[in-house]
Amino acid sequence: MAAYTLLQLIEVAAASAILLVGIRTHSAPVALLGGALLLAKALVNILWPEGGSVYRRSLIGYAVGGIFFIGANILVHFTG
């Protein structure tokens, strides 16, 4: 197994654990953080066929994940 593949598996496991902790503790911000990290990781892999470096794809993916996290927390704050 390549080192990059192992790193991706570890990232997904960590983000999934954060999501599950947030769900178990009924903490919306923690659950949203786990979801945002999984969204970011998915975007990094979705952008792979488009080309570009892993740094460029990571920047785009994690920026979108961060925007999702902030927007969703604002939504939860005003509706919860």
pLDDT at 52 over 90: no
The Cα–Cα gap between 38 and 72 comes to 14
CA dihedral 38, 12, 63, 25 (to 10 degrees): 60
The DSSP line for 53-68 is -HHHHHHHHHHHHHHH
Whole-angstrom Cα Rg for the chain: 14
The Cα–Cα gap between 53 and 72 comes to 29
Rounded mean pLDDT of 55-68? 96
**pLDDT (tens digit per residue) in 3-43:** 888 999 999 999 999 999 999 999 999 999 999 999 999 99
pLDDT at 80 over 80: no
The Cα–Cα gap between 18 and 38 comes to 10
